[in-house]
């Protein structure tokens, strides 16, 4: 992949050749840009998605910095229907050679296999770190829309689609703690 190359619609794996970067002087770098819809492992980033990172030589380490954005589809936290969520992440990762003292050190090493490359490796695979950065950017409670009515806790109907008869049973929030207390007494 030439420096600055734009890849249309990446499939499954995003690998970067590191031979020239490692051979180069400190600061040698390569830009990787991918646009369109793409797959990061099992995660689909829908168009208009864009990954733009610079892989650069920092002594023994390789720095991977840039941005990622796109739309992912995940279950809505209220109604469980598909929710399209725009995600945006700053990428700031480091890769270390497997032989470096930090990696081989006994005991707890913060370096997972993900961010380590073998001395003989000609490329690093960014797919998994990009996927994890994208997943980390998904809100904890994704919503299909701001005012999603969710599932009725009583009958389970999707309140975005039907108006069930349970509405009248809505509980005054001031009574909720009292009811919870009553429930605990029963248990």
Binding site for Zn ion (CB under 5 A): 76, 78-79, 144, 148, 152, 154-155, 164, 166
Rounded least distance, CB 17 to Zn ion, Å:
43
Smallest separation (angstroms) from Zn ion to the CB of 76? 3
For Zn ion, which is the closer residue by CB, 47 or 167?
A: 167
Residues 6 or more apart whose CB falls under 8 angstroms from that of 52 comprise: 31, 32, 33, 34, 66, 67, 68
The nearer residue to Zn ion, 7 or 166, going by C-beta atoms, is 166
Compute how many other C-beta atoms are within 10 angstroms of the C-beta atom of residue 16.
19
In the bound state with Zn ion, the residue whose beta carbon lies nearer, of 21 and 72, is 72
CA 1, 42, 46, 146 dihedral sign is negative
The number of angstroms, rounded, from the C-alpha of 33 to the middle of its chain's C-alpha atoms is: 17
Q: How far apart are CA 21 and CA 24, in angstroms?
A: 5
State the Cα–Cα distance between residues 175 and 182, nearest whole angstrom: 11
CB nearer Zn ion, residue 6 or residue 167: 167
Provide, rounded to whole angstroms, the least separation between the CB of residue 171 and Zn ion. Answer: 13
Helix, coil or strand: residue 154 = coil
Task: Return the CA Rg of the chain.
Answer: 24
Least separation in angstroms between residue 79's CB and Zn ion is 3
Minimum distance from CB of 73 to Zn ion (Å)? 12
Asked if residue 81 lies in contact with residue 144, where contact means CB atoms within 8 angstroms, the answer is: yes
128 or 157: CB nearest Zn ion: 157
């Amino acid at each position: 992949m030439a420096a600055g190359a734009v890849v249309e619609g990446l499939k499954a794996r995003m690998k970067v050749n590191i031979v020239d970067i490692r051979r180069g002087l400190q600061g040698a770098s390569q830009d990787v840009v991918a646009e369109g819809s793409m797959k990061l492992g099992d995660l689909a980033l829908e168009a208009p998605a864009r990954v733009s990172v610079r892989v650069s030589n920092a002594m023994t380490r390789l720095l991977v910095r840039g941005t990622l954005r796109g739309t992912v589809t995940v279950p809505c936290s209220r109604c469980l229907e598909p929710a399209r969520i725009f995600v945006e992440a700053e990428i700031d990762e480091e890769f270390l050679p497997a032989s470096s003292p930090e990696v081989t050190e006994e005991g707890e090493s913060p370096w997972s296999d993900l961010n380590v490359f073998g001395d003989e490796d000609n490329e690093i695979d960014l797919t998994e770190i990009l996927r994890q950065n994208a997943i980390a950017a998904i809100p904890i409670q994704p919503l299909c829309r701001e005012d999603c009515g969710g599932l009725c806790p009583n009958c389970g109907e999707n309140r975005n689609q039907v108006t069930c008869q349970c509405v009248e049973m809505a509980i005054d929030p001031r009574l909720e703690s009292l009811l919870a207390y009553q429930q605990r007494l029963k248990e």
